[in-house]
Amino acid sequence: MSDFKISKTLDAKNLSCPLPILRTKKAIEDIKIGEFIEILATDPGSVADFNAWTAATGHELIDKSEESGIYRFIIKRTK
């Protein structure tokens, strides 16, 4: 379905604001520019927050989906 390869998965399930974002900030530094990180979260607020965070930082929110209460975000490191 897509041509990107996930370089790292961050499990942020059962964490509340702002931890999914803070952990993502840290984890994205472990991948190279141009690579993709996958984040799994259960905080419903994270949907809006990952939109805002990527808008502010310039990293690219490539995809978001939800399945049985687990949100999955794919973010491309851009810098």
CA atoms of 77 and 45, how far apart (whole Å):
22
Distance in Å, CB of 71 to other proteins, minimum: 14
**List 6, 11, 17, 34, catalytic entry:** 17
Question: What span, in angstroms and rounded, lies between the C-alpha atoms of 46 and 62?
Answer: 15
71 is an interface residue for other proteins by CB under 8 A: no
Would you say the C-alpha torsion 5, 57, 44, 10 has a positive or negative sign? Answer: positive
* 62 near other proteins (CB under 8 A): no
- Known catalytic residues are 17
Provide the binding-site residues for other proteins, judged by CB under 8 A: 14-19, 21-22, 24-25, 43, 52-53, 56-57
